[in-house]
Amino acid sequence: MDKNQPISPALLRVCHDQKGSFEREAAAGVLFKMKAILTNHSIDRAKERCGWNRCALERMADKALESGISQKDVSGRLRRYIDKHSIQHPGHRSFIHGNVVFVFAGVTLITVLDLPKEFQRAAKASRK
């Protein structure tokens, strides 16, 4: 089954797990990830903080959702840093990809933050 081919609603089931991530699962057993939805604020922040245009942000946000470092993957000071963002913004999830923190509400990208220099080594160690 081609990933770009539309799926009929009869074969499609939208799953919502406890973490708030969404995945589409076809009856044939093929798993589809939903693409990140960008807000105007996230586009402006990515341009300001990372120098990314919209296309680059879409690509990086999808990678962050798919393979980014989540709160459960880290410990120590980096974990407390991510916890702080979770407490300030309830219902939002933070993922680290590269040296950038992506803040999502469901699959909607809210903002993009630079990971402070003091946490970059810990993030790199938790990727392995």
Q: How far apart are CA 54 and CA 48, in angstroms?
A: 12
89 strand-pairing partners = none
Domain range annotation of the chain: 1-34, 37-127
pTM confidence score: 0.73
pLDDT digits (tens, 9 = 90+) for 1-32: 445 555 444 444 443 333 344 444 444 444 55
Q: How far apart are CA 92 and CA 55, in angstroms?
A: 23
Q: How far apart are CA 10 and CA 111, in angstroms?
A: 34
Residues in the chain: 128
